[in-house]
Amino acid sequence: MGSRGYPGAATPKPSGMTDSPAALRDDAPKAQAVRLKAERPMAAVYSIFLPVEGSPIRATVLPGAALVGIWREADDGERVLQIDYEANAHGSKASARFAQRCMHAAGRLTADYPTSSRILLSSDRVASELIEVGVYDEGERLVFLEGLHERAAVAAWLDRQDIASDELHAR
């Protein structure tokens, strides 16, 4: 069992660098290109987050977006949470289900290519901005939610009463 109780779940050990320490500042432009590297867990399992009501992230990200993240370490030793997200703003059938949006966001995170759908948060801001609700297993293409409270929170984020099981599988 992994660190969160899911098969294959692991907390990656951060290590890496950035081209610009200024890119990690909270006030840095969102679209600024930032290159971070981290050791990947053996099984590609990423944390899933929801934005806290009233937080700046909640105002930035479209409702229903999938936010997946991994902890990284910058040149200055600061731990940052890199969040890549997919909102399916254009209504693509390939991103209709929540798990499919997790898959696309995790793909960007894995490839670490430049995107405007990325948020970097210093460790002191995470608790006030995000709630961790589960994990996305890239190998299985499945979303695992922590419990009933988290399942209800994700359903509300998706503007639904409940979440159908097919919503949690990216086929």
Convert the pLDDT of each residue in 105-161 to its tens digit.
999 888 888 888 999 999 899 999 999 999 999 989 999 998 999 999 999 999 999
Mean per-residue pLDDT, 94-108: 91
Q: Is residue 5 part of a domain?
A: no
Contact indicator for 71, 80 with CB cutoff of 8 Å? yes
15 within domain boundaries? no
- Does residue 19 sit within a domain? no
Q: Is residue 18 part of a domain?
A: no
Q: Which of 35-39, 41-45, 60-64 has the weakest average pLDDT?
A: 35-39
Residue 22 belongs to some domain of the structure: no
Task: Identify whether 2 is part of a domain.
Answer: no
- Domain span at residue 42 reads 30-166
Unique residue bearing structure tokens 């009501």: 53
Q: Is the pTM value of this prediction over 0.75?
A: no
CA separation for the pair 58, 56 (Å, rounded):
5
> What kind and span of H or E run contains 145?
strand 142-145
3 falls within a domain: no
Contact 146, 113 (CB under 8 A): no
**Domains identified in the chain, total number:** 1
